Amino acid sequence: SHPKDFDEDILEVMAETPSICRAINLPVQSGSDRILKEMNRGYTRSQYLELVRRIRTVLPDVSLTTDLIVGFPQETEDDFRDSYDLLKELRFDIVHTAAYSPREGTKAAVMEGQIDNKVKAARLNEINALQSQIALELNEEYVGKTVEILLDGPAPRGEGSLQGRTKTDKVVIVKGSPECMGSYMDVKIIRASHWSLEGEII
């Protein structure tokens, strides 16, 4: 959801409806107020932070993901640090990152202050390294816990493995037969990586 469109009504429905997954994608795009204004996002850093705090208060088990662009025209080192620090503070489960690339016909494509590709690549690498560590730490909190998953298909990592998802949209890999696909299963998490969990069907 676009942050400016995510309101209290949506949050209330999610809180009152157990069948809705506890997972929200809330694209921030930048942690810098100056860059957010240039992007015409329609919210400030503080408004975004308050929205995340409200969501986590009402849905304490929610999984939050976001989208972030580095290297937007005129992005300074301070602007980049604002984005970096925002990710450190909010600790998203997943961050979809990208280096800015011009799109013909957009205002940004003809703005002064286009960022050098090497600078964009370095900033992207730094953001990805931070998020990789955060994602691993968050996933490691699941190890030893039992969770319910919906098995939705074969896993990409070899014969005999299935893939499922938790209520918070975490990917879990388990050993199981194809007949189990489409079923809910209780699974004990035995291992965590940056992007997925590994479990055993109980």
70 and 21 housed in the same domain: yes
* Spatial contact of 163 and 134, defined as CB atoms under 8 Å apart: no
pLDDT at 15: 96
SS3 115: coil
114 and 178 housed in the same domain: no
SS3 19: coil
101 and 74 housed in the same domain: yes
50 and 35 housed in the same domain: yes
162 and 192 housed in the same domain: yes
pLDDT at 92: 98
Residue recorded with tokens 């997954």: 21
pLDDT at 74: 97
pLDDT at 156: 85
Query: By residue range, what is the domain housing residue 71?
Result: 3-140
Distance of CA 22 to the CA centre of its chain: 13
pLDDT at 73: 98
193 and 106 housed in the same domain: no
- The list of the chain residues with pLDDT below 70 reads 158
pTM, rounded to two decimals: 0.92
Q: Pairing mode, if any, of strands 171-175 and 146-154? A: unpaired
Residue 63: give its domain's CATH number.
Answer: 3.30.750.200
pLDDT at 158: 67
Residue 181: give its domain's CATH number.
Answer: 2.40.50.140
pLDDT at 115: 97
DSSP code string of 63-114:
EEEEEEEE--TT--HHHHHHHHHHHHHH--SEEEEEE----TTSTGGG-S-P
pLDDT at 176: 87
Each residue's pLDDT tens digit, 40-73: 999 999 999 999 999 999 999 999 999 999 999 9
